[in-house]
Structures are given as C-alpha cells and as structure tokens.
Amino acid sequence: MFLSLEVSGLAILIAVILGIPFGVFLGLHRFPGRNLIVTLVNTGMGFPPVVVGLFVFLLLARSGPLGSFNLLYTPWAMIIAQIIIALPLVVGVTMAGIQSIEEKLKYQILALGASGFQYLLKLLKEGQLIILSALAAGFGSIISEVGAVMMVGGNIKGQTRVLTTAIVLETRQGEYSLAIALGLILLLIALLLNLLFTYLQQRRLS
C-alpha cells in the first residue's frame, strides 16, 4: 500500500514540477507550432495507459535505448510510466486554467506593479481551483492504473507490487477476500485524497 502511495506520489510530484510551468507557458504564449503541441497534449490526456506501458517497456528493456540503466521491473520504471500518463493531464488542465483567467485580470496584476515572476505566481493562485482538480484527476488516474505498472514493474512481491497489481493477482488466485480488502483500501485512499482536494478547493472559494 505504501509503495502505491510512494510511486504515484513521486510520479505526480514530478509531473507537476514539469507540467505546471509548461502548461503556464502554453496558456500564455502564442507561437508557431503551438497548436500541434496542444493537440499532442490533448491526445496524451486520453492516451491508453497500457500503450504507455508498452512504450516504456520497449524503452527500458535490456535491448532498448535505455536498457543499460537496468530500470525495468523496478519502482522507477513504474514512476516513469505514471509520469507519462499524468503529464499531459497536468499540462492540459494548467493551460486551460491559465487561459480561463480573464485577459483584463492578467493586465490588472501587471498594472499593480507585479514583476514577471510575481505575475506568474498570481496567475497560478487565481487558476488554482482548476489546477487542484488537475492534480486530483491526475493522481486518481495513476494510483488506480494497473496495465502499465504491471508491464513495466512486473508485480514483484516486495519490490514492484502495488495495490492494483496485488488486487489482480489475488483475484486470479481466488483469494477474493484479500482482493476485496485491498480494493477497499484503494477506494479509501482515493476517497481521502479527494476529500483533501475538495477541502482545499472549497476553502479557496469561501
């Protein structure tokens, strides 16, 4: 259970660190090729995780381009796969969040004397409701994901077995009660996290 949280937590953290600045950039600037990137991001948001798994598998497999790092069947492989799944979601929603801020509000922030950096911080703060929901959605999608982590992690006991892959295994072995218990834990985690995000969102609203 903790491995699930660690892997998905680290993956969402990295996805946020990479995705939010990129999303802000896409949300604010117009440049040639932007439409292509936005299309790719939007496609990525609906990408089947199992295909991402296959892609990461091929990349990390011993004969693959990154094979020499020996990352396949380690938690890192799962983290990489989850980052790739969550990243377009974080980028896309951040971009939408920034774009949804009224043009005049952007001018207003600058007209009160904000520096470039203070301006970006304020935009994130104003768009935070949408960005928080991006985080919730991103985290929810990767912690409950099974196909990709199974492929690249290998479901090795004590190393890469996470809640979802354990549920699959126990169900196949006929250990239904254990599978149900694990399923309940996963649900509980999802529920608690969503409660937290909802609390954060609503606190901002009131």
Partner 1 sequence: MNPLMQLKNIEVVLEKRKILEIETLDINCGEILTILGPTGSGKSTILKLLAFLIKPQQGEIFWQGQQVHFPAPLSVRRLISMTFQEPLPFQGTVFENVAYGLRIRGVKGKELKRKVEEALELLGIEHLKNHSARRISGGEAQRMALARALVFHPLLLLLDEPLASLDPLTKDKLKPELYRILKQIGMTCVYVTHDQEEAYFFSDRIAVLDQGKILQVGNKERVFFKPSNAKVAKFVGTENLIPAVVCSQENNLVSLKAGDKTLEAIAPFPPGKKVIACIRPEEITLKKDGVALERVSARNQLPGTITSLDSFGPVTKATLDCGFTLKVLITRRSVFDLNLKPGDFVVATFKATAVHVFSEDEGGANDQL
Q: Count residues contacting partner 1 (CB under 8 A)? A: 19
C-alpha 107/C-alpha 25 separation (Å) is 17
8 A C-beta contact, residue 169 and residue 163: no
- Quick check: 70 binds partner 1 (CB under 8 A)? no
CA–CA separation, 3 and 74 (whole Å): 12
Q: How far apart are CA 205 and CA 147, in angstroms?
A: 37
112 touching partner 1, by CB under 8 A: yes
User: What is the nearest approach in angstroms of partner 1 to the Cβ of residue 123?
Assistant: 11
Stretch touching partner 1 by CB under 8 A, among 35-43, 102-110, 157-165, 167-175: 102-110
In angstroms, how far is the first alpha carbon of the chain from the final one?
34
Stretch that binds partner 1, among 40-48, 67-75, 124-132, 185-193 (CB under 8 A): 124-132
Residue 97 sits in the site that holds partner 1 (CB under 8 A): no
**Among 157, 154, 190, 172, residue whose Cα is nearest residue 74:** 154
- CB of 103 vs partner 1, minimal distance in Å: 10
**In sequence order, what are the residues at sequence separation of 6 or more whose Cβ sits closer than 8 angstroms to the Cβ of residue 197?**
132, 133, 135, 136
Considering only residues 61, 114, 178, 190, which one is a binding residue for partner 1 as defined by CB under 8 A?
A: 114
**Chain residues 144-203 in contact with partner 1, contact rule CB under 8 A:** none
Contacts to partner 1 from residues 126-145, by CB under 8 A: 126, 128
> Any contact of residue 34 with partner 1 (CB under 8 A)?
no
| CA–CA separation, 134 and 163 (whole Å) | 22
- Write out the residues near partner 1 by the rule CB under 8 A: 102, 104-105, 107-115, 118, 122, 125-126, 128, 204, 206
